[in-house]
A and B are shown apart, each in its own frame.
Chain A
Amino acid sequence: MSRDRVRVVVTGLGVTTPLGGDVASTWSALLAGQSGVRTLTEDWIDLLPVKFAARAAVEPTDVLPKPESRRLDRAEQFAVIAAREAWRDAGTPKVAPDRLGVVVGSGIGGITTILAAYDVFKEKGWQRLSPFTVPMLMPNGSAGWIGIELGATAGVHATVSACATGAESIGYAMEMIRSGRADVVVAGGTEAAIHPLNLGSFAAMRAMSTRNDEPHRASRPWDKDRDGFVLGEGAGIIVLESEAHALGRGARVYAEAAGVGYSGDAHHIAQPEPTGAGLRSAARRVLEDARLTGKDIRHVNAHATSTPAGDVVEALAIQDIIGDHPIVTATKSMTGHLLGGAGGIESVFTIKALYDRVVPATVNLDNLDDGVEVDIVRGEPRPLPSGQIAAINNSFGFGGHNVAVAFASI
């Protein structure tokens, strides 16, 4: 037997999402079943088959000072805003710089910066490119800026695994603390990809909903009439901490970050592996890593993006490995899909559900698809039982990345 490992806990939460500019407003909107999806009004929308998305509820440039907004890509703006909230929420921990780390990734990085900068280059020449173009477009930029602001010298990292990015970042952060590299790590994911090129490219994959007449009804995980995902934007970031460090400073602890399970599909670059073998592996591994059994898991915040291919396979994997008892929800029905930000915000929602003992309902689930037998919350939010319970956030990404993160009540 190996010696007991370092226990990791969550002490701070921060988000900016299509439902609100912080955790409190987002969480109350989720419990109220609100949708953050809206018709887009930009003139380029005429070029596209998809005419809606889930824009951030609060414009980041309304929150940040103008000089800061100028040098940050929109994805970095979201990340910095969510990280500041999480850090404040954790009580601005006093921690030695070389014991503090950052792991914040993005699925795509500063794509709107890249495209806008290329226009500037073509029209006006290289001399007119902002000297901040490179730090704005690099996908590790958010991690870098947060690391500078907090003075984190233990290590600043950015995982990139498409829509699994946020969850993978949190897993990596847990491992940094367990391995003794850091006492406190700020971790999560961010994305700002609502741009005609991305909407067009995802539409070219036939991955997006085109329910243009009812955008708020478009994201409908597990519903028979789902026709694709809805693009969202924002960031979700949490503060992870060794239990000893958190207790030593008398921090409020939301949950234990109990474990992480990873797997690779090794099947197709963008399609889910049809038997769900990779999803089952990730579920088995997260239970093993967290030293939990399926019975301990009372809630799953599913990846469920509202695409025809993925949702049912995930439900079957949950049922098979964890069981049909957990209360399952898909908050993407309200936030849309934040790609690299998804695992960040959905980990926050999973932790909030455990801490507040309530699970938001999945909206737009009018006709449950065939073969889905897990217990999905519909209609009203559902309470979670008291006592010692655990929950899982699933995040899967193009490339065949499967990540499941487990949190446990304290």
Chain B
Amino acid sequence: MAVTEQEILAGLGKIINEITGIPAVEVTPEKNFVDDLDIDSLSMVEIAVAAQDEFGVEIPDDQLKHLKTVKDVVNFIQN
């Protein structure tokens, strides 16, 4: 059974909260990781690795740099 967008968003919120301390409720689709959430590139790597574990989807480095917003990551995982 495929995971829904809501489930991915919730999982991502939990991961981001764990790694950065940002409340999960603030992790909404339109948020930009750098501009809105102030997440640096090192933390982004941690988030990507944790997301790979959680959702079983590999996020290659050359893709990761194009994932600017929370929605970008949700879409990447869904597809």
Contacts and interface: CB of A to CB of B under 8 A. Distances in A.
Contacts of A128: 49
Contacts of A132: 42, 46
Q: How large is the interface on B (under 10, 10 to 19, 20 to 34, 35 or more residues)?
A: 10 to 19
Closest 10 CB pairs of A and B: A67-B21, A131-B42, A131-B45, A67-B20, A65-B21, A132-B42, A131-B46, A67-B19, A130-B46, A70-B19
B18 interface: yes
Contacts of B41: 131
Contacts of A68: 21
Contacts of A127: 49
A3 interface: no
Interface in B6-54: 18-21, 41-43, 45-46, 49
A127 B19 CA distance: 17
Overall SS of chain A's interface: helix
Given A127-B49, A128-B49, A66 B21 contact: yes
Given A67-B20, A132-B42, 8 more contacts: A66-B21, A67-B21, A70-B19, A131-B42, A131-B43, A131-B45, A132-B46, A135-B42
Interface of A: 65-68, 70-71, 127-128, 130-132, 135
Contacts of A65: 21
A135 B42 CA distance: 11
B42 A67 contact: no
B42 A66 contact: no
12 contacts: A65-B21, A66-B18, A66-B21, A67-B21, A70-B19, A71-B43, A128-B49, A131-B41, A131-B42, A131-B43, A131-B45, A132-B42
